[in-house]
Structures are given as structure tokens and as C-alpha cells.
């Protein structure tokens, strides 16, 4: 059975327990998901490259920056300079920029990802799908935590898995949005490689991060009938 990877969305963590939560999660997850919002592409403003520097002080795990911004060119070099392992950009703002920014990221020895909103079809990224290292499927509208899960987005995960197998592409598939006890079963059926977990799936389950983690794992096992290793 394929191992499930959970990537906590640090936007939704309790910043009063920043060090405690990161220190615990370091031993249990494969990466961290860091949302960077500019207040234009989405209304919110949250986190920044500075936050990546703070996480680096207490974690050596790979960091994945999700750029919810209208001008990815402004942010990419900052993240390259910080050696952020994954830099993921929305397909909707990459017209005329995709090849240059993917090269800029990969030439620095880092990994380039592309993110698809619920309304954005997979064929939008066909011109460069063979180049990207990760594809993130938004299962909610971007920019806010706690939104309604959009079931139809799971079809894109299935299609991307089939396409990867047929064409030999190298990308990993990630889902982002409302991953929790209510949705684990249908997400598991679609089969992404990485589950981003936020407030509903992890941080909001208890004030204690260890209890939250154990509850999340039990929720996953209960709903999928699969045992996490």
C-alpha cells in the first residue's frame, strides 16, 4: 500500500505554540505547506518569505511555498534565495511566465509546482506539464480556511494519476482544501500523493498538537479502513 504523506498548512497552526507544534510535527510529517498571499490574487494577506526563515530555525524538513499572488515573478527569486524546496505557482497567473519561472526554480536545484483552482481545467497546463515537479489540486476556492469541499475537483486527481502513468511524467499530486474526517474517504479514493491538512483536519482538533495528530491519524484510519505506518 502506498504511504500517505500529510503536509501541515502552517497558516492554520496556533502561532502561540509555534515552536512546540513544529518540534512535534518534525518527527511525523514529510514537509510543511506555507501559504503566501498578497491581498490581490486573494483578499487575505498571510505569511511571507520571512516566515520560512523562522521555520528553518527549528526544522530541516522540506518547505513548500504556495504562492497565491498576482505577480509570481516578484516572489520566486526571494524563495530561491531562501532555498525553499518547493515553489508552487497558480496556473491562472502563469500565462507568458511559466517556462521562465520553472527554469528559474529548477536551475537553482529546487522543485517547481503548479496549482489549479477548482474551475481551472488540467489542459491549461499541458504546454509545460512535462516540466513540473508537483501539481496541486485546490479542492476549495483559494484564500480562506474552512471552506466547503468541492467534490468534482477529485476527478482531476484521478485524471492526473492516469496521465502520469500513461506518459511517464514525474510530478507528484497534492490536494489542498478541507482534508478531514468528513472527506478522507473520498480523497483516498482519488489517490493523491500528498494531503495538505489544516485547521479542520489537524490543528483545530485539540489545543495539544500530539492529541490533534493522533486524532487525525485515527480519523484517517477510521474513514479509509487503512492503517498508517
Query: Is 59 labelled a binding residue?
Result: no
149-181 tens-digit pLDDT: 999 999 999 999 999 999 999 999 999 999 999
Give the domain ranges of the chain: 5-224
Give the separation between CA 180 and CA 46, rounded to whole angstroms.
22
87-139 tens-digit pLDDT: 999 999 999 999 999 999 999 999 999 999 999 999 999 999 999 999 999 99
The answer to whether residue 219 is catalytic is: no
pTM of the model: 0.95
Q: Catalytic residue, from 14, 16, 27, 35: name it.
A: 35
8-47 tens-digit pLDDT: 999 999 989 999 999 999 999 999 999 999 878 786 777 7
User: For domain 5-224, which CATH number applies: 3.90.1200.10, 2.60.40.10, 3.20.20.70, 3.40.50.2000?
Assistant: 3.20.20.70
Q: Catalytic residue, from 38, 133, 176, 193: name it.
A: 176
Amino acid at each position: 500500500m502506498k504511504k500517505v504523506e500529510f503536509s501541515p498548512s502552517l497558516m492554520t497552526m496556533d502561532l502561540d505554540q509555534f515552536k512546540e507544534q513544529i518540534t512535534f510535527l518534525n518527527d511525523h510529517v514529510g514537509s510543511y505547506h506555507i501559504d503566501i498571499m498578497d491581498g490581490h490574487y486573494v483578499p487575505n494577506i498571510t505569511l511571507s518569505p520571512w516566515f520560512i526563515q523562522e521555520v528553518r530555525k527549528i526544522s530541516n524538513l522540506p518547505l513548500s511555498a504556495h504562492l497565491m499572488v498576482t505577480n509570481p515573478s516578484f516572489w520566486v527569486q526571494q524563495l530561491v534565495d531562501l532555498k525553499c524546496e518547493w515553489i508552487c505557482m497558480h496556473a491562472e497567473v502563469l500565462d507568458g511566465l511559466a517556462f521562465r519561472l520553472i527554469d528559474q526554480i529548477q536551475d537553482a536545484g529546487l522543485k517547481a509546482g503548479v496549482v489549479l483552482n477548482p474551475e481551472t481545467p488540467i489542459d491549461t497546463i499541458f504546454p509545460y506539464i512535462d516540466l513540473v515537479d508537483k501539481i496541486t489540486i485546490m479542492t476549495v476556492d483559494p484564500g480562506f480556511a474552512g471552506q466547503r469541499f468541492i467534490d468534482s475537483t477529485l476527478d482531476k486527481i484521478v485524471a492526473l494519476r492516469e496521465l502520469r502513468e500513461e506518459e511517464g511524467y514525474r510530478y507528484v499530486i497534492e490536494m489542498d482544501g478541507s482534508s478531514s474526517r468528513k472527506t478522507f474517504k473520498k480523497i483516498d479514493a482519488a489517490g493523491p500523493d500528498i494531503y495538505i491538512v489544516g485547521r479542520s483536519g489537524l490543528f483545530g482538533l485539540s489545543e495539544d498538537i500530539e492529541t490533534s495528530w493522533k486524532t487525525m491519524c485515527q480519523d484517517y484510519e477510521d474513514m479509509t479502513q487503512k492503517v498508517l505506518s
